[in-house]
Amino acid sequence: MDELKELLQEHAQRYPLLQPQDVMKLIYQRNFGPGHAIDDPDGQAEIIAREMEEAEDTGILTESIGNHLCRLYLGKAKTVFKAEDIADIFARTAAIQKGSMYEFIRDLKTVQKNITLFACSFSEEEFNAYAAWHRGRGYPAVHHSRRYADAYHPHYRVVFEGFVSSLENTVF
């Protein structure tokens, strides 16, 4: 639980426009990985290559999201890796990380109990209202909020941290 609290404090600081939807996305990703994001497994390399062209290099390669997972930022990754390699570790992560609803709910309750500690740009009431809306829809995967997307232009893939390390060790 301390890992999650630390993670949320870091994200609230790094992304001051973070919204309840973005917190929900974060805890969803750290529990279920990227499986929901693979619509076209065979075309992933092409999709990633196109997105890499759009993505700006912010200097950040990875950002841990817990459970040995990270967000691999495509803007920096394009300076180091090939789209095919990213597609491979993305698909392998999706095949392995299945998550559990129990762990997701546990993380959600941790957030709800500690939301005032994270200095977010939204209130406890706003988060709880969003959580109720999300629960009413069966806890689906969600996109980043419009506010977050407009401010931070996130272009990344959720992958196992160890897979990134293995790619880094193959780059000369």
Per-residue pLDDT tens over the stretch 98-113: 889 999 999 999 999 9
Average the pLDDT over 70-85 and give the result. 96
Query: How distant, in Å, are the alpha carbons of 41, 53, 59 from that of 143?
Result: 19, 21, 23
- Quote the pLDDT of residue 172: 46
Q: What is the pLDDT confidence band of residue 36, given thresholds at 50, 70 and 90?
A: low
- Quote the pLDDT of residue 41: 62
155-167 confidence digits (pLDDT tens):
999 999 999 998 8
Rg (CA), the chain: 16
Least confident span in 34-38, 43-47, 160-164:
34-38
pTM score: 0.92
CA distance 162 to 69: 8
The dihedral built from the CA positions of residue 119, 120, 122 and 126, taken in this order, carries a sign that is negative
Average the pLDDT over 62-89 and give the result. 96
- Quote the pLDDT of residue 169: 75
- Quote the pLDDT of residue 138: 94
Q: What is the DSSP letter of 143?
A: P
Average the pLDDT over 69-80 and give the result. 96
> 2-14 and 101-114 helices cross at what angle (nearest 10)?
60
Give residues with Cβ within 8 angstroms of 9, minimum separation 6. Answer: 117, 118, 119
Q: Domain limits of the chain?
A: 2-161
Using alpha carbons, select from 135, 130, 151, 52 the residue that is nearest to residue 101.
Answer: 135
157 SS3 class: strand
